[in-house]
Amino acid sequence: MGRKLTACMLALMLVTALVTGWPATAAYAVTTVPVVGNGDGRYADAAPVELTGAFDRFIGELDASPAQPTPQQVKDLTFRRRILELRLLMDLNALAYDPIRMKGYREAVDAAYEASGAFQDIAVAAKILSMDISGDVVNDIGGQMLGALAPFRDPRTRAEMRDFLAHPLHEARTGKGLHTPGLWDLGGESASNDYDALGNVALLTIGIMNHLQGSDLGVSDIFDPNQKDYFHTVRRQTRAVLLYAAMFPSINDVTQDVATPLNDLVDQYGEVGDDYVAYQYAQALGGDVASQAGKVQSEFDKAQAVKDQLIATHAYDAMVDRLNQVRDAHRLH
C-alpha cells in the first residue's frame, strides 16, 4: 500500500465497506427453523405468535453465546440466523403494528444483523487470504458489533420490545401512506385482510418474485460498486423468498421441489460475496489483491452460468405458480 494506515483507520474503512456494502454469506448454510404457530390464523392474530417466538429464540441464543465472541465463534453460532428470521418476520408483519415504533425496533435488529456480519467477515477473510487480521482491527469491528447487540442484552429494552411485538393492531393497516417495509413495496402490494397469515406470506413473496422477474438478474462488472451492490440485492431478495418458504412448513411443502434452482443461485452468488469480502480485506490490509480479484472473477463467472440456467428453465415462473396456489388456498373472502 502506498502509505501506512493506522489500525483505527483500517477498521473504519472495513466497517464502512462491509456493513454498508456486502457482508459475507457463509451463514446461509445454517438451518432455518419453522415459525412458532406455523402461520395459522388471521394475519394480525398470527403476528404476535410468530414475532415473540422469533424474538425469544434470538434472545435465547444470544444469551448462550460468549459475551465477547471471536469472529469464528460468531460465524459458527446461529444467533445471527435468528436475527435474520426475526427481521424478515418483522417485515412480513409490519402492517399489523404501529409503524413508528416498528421502524425503530426494525432498525435496531438490522444494525445487529449487519454489525455481527461485519465481525464474522474477519474469519471469512482470514481463511480465504491465509493471513492474520490485526488485533486492533478485530477489536474495533468487534466493538461495533457489541454496541449493536447491547440493546438486546438490556433487560428493560428486551421487555419493552417483546411487549410491543405481543400486542399488534386488530387488523392489518390499509389505505394510503402505510410506511410499508421495502419488501412489500417491491411488488406494489400490502398485507390484506382478505387472506389469512399464510396467504399474506404468499402475497408478499409473489410480489418479490414478480419484481425480480421484471429485473435484470445479472451484471457485467462485479468490480463496479453499483453493479456489485445490485448483484447482492438480487441475492438478498431471492434469499428472502426462500427463507419465508422455509419458515412456514405449509409453504415449504408446496415449493420445496421447485426451490432448488433458486437455492443454487443464492449459494453461488454467496460464494462471490465471500471472495469479494476477502478482496476488500486484501485491498485494505496489503494482501495479494490481484490474486484475490482473480478468485472473485472466477466465482462471478460461475454465478453468471447459474443465473443463465435459472432463466432458461423458467425457475422463477415455477416458484410463482406454486406461491399463487398457496395464496389462492388461503383467501378468507
Per-residue pLDDT tens over the stretch 244-275: 999 999 999 999 999 999 999 999 999 999 99
- 92: nearest Cα among 230, 286, 235, 251: 251
Q: Where are the beta strands (DSSP E) in 103-230?
A: none
What's the confidence (pLDDT) of residue 189? 82
Q: Which band of pLDDT confidence, cut at 50, 70 and 90, is reported for residue 25?
A: very low
Amino acid present at 213: Q
Predicted TM-score (pTM) of the model is: 0.90
Angle between helices 260-285 and 99-129 (to 10 degrees): 70
Q: Which CATH number fits domain 7-329: 1.40.20, 1.10.3470, 2.30.29, 1.10.10?
A: 1.40.20
The domain spans of the chain are: 7-329
